[in-house]
């Protein structure tokens, strides 16, 4: 667990980062539903937290409320970001960047030297953040998103 000073444009002063617990799932699912057209279910998150030995999930909380989260799988020496989301009223304050930087740091500590993720080409804000953090498009997954049939850019950050 760590406290991170936000670089947000508003009153966001302190974000507490810690590992996700099953008790966080109501808040996480609320953010998930507000963020994605095909949100993960409670059972999907429970499986990640309880049964997936490769999974590592974190949350960011402000004043005791979960306002953002992110997750990744660590497979040998690579980290695969599974999801990242910020509560709508907290977007634009740098929280996505804070969560990504924490995932990168944790991946490095677990021996990873590269990180990958998929992102919608239409999600220009996320793509800009990932690019700023050193991720580059290395491929395309055709028709990856089942809700729209949209492709996914496969982005990689090497030499963590």
Please list the active-site residues: 118, 130
**Which DSSP string do the residues of 29-81 spell out, in sequence order?**
HHHHHHH-SSPPPHHHHHHHHHT-TTEEEEEEEETTEEEEEEEEEEETTEEEE
Contact 115, 157 (CB under 8 A): yes
Place of tokens 């999801």: 83
Distance between CA atoms of 108 and 100, rounded to whole angstroms?
A: 12
């Amino acid at each position: 667990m760590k406290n991170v000073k936000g670089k947000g444009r508003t009153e966001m002063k302190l974000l507490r980062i810690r590992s996700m617990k099953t008790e966080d799932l109501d808040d996480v699912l609320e953010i998930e539903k507000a963020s994605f057209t095909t949100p993960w279910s409670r059972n999907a998150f429970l499986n990640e937290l309880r049964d997936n030995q490769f999974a590592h999930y974190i949350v960011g909380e402000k004043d005791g409320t979960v306002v953002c989260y992110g997750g990744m799988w660590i497979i040998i020496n690579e980290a695969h970001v599974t999801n990242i989301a910020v509560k709508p009223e907290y977007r634009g304050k740098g929280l996505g960047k804070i969560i990504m930087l924490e995932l990168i740091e944790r991946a490095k500590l677990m021996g990873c030297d590269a990180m990958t993720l998929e992102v919608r080409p239409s999600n220009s804000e996320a793509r800009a953040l990932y690019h700023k953090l050193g991720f580059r498009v290395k491929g395309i997954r055709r028709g990856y998103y089942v809700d729209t049939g949209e492709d996914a850019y496969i982005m990689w950050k090497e030499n963590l």
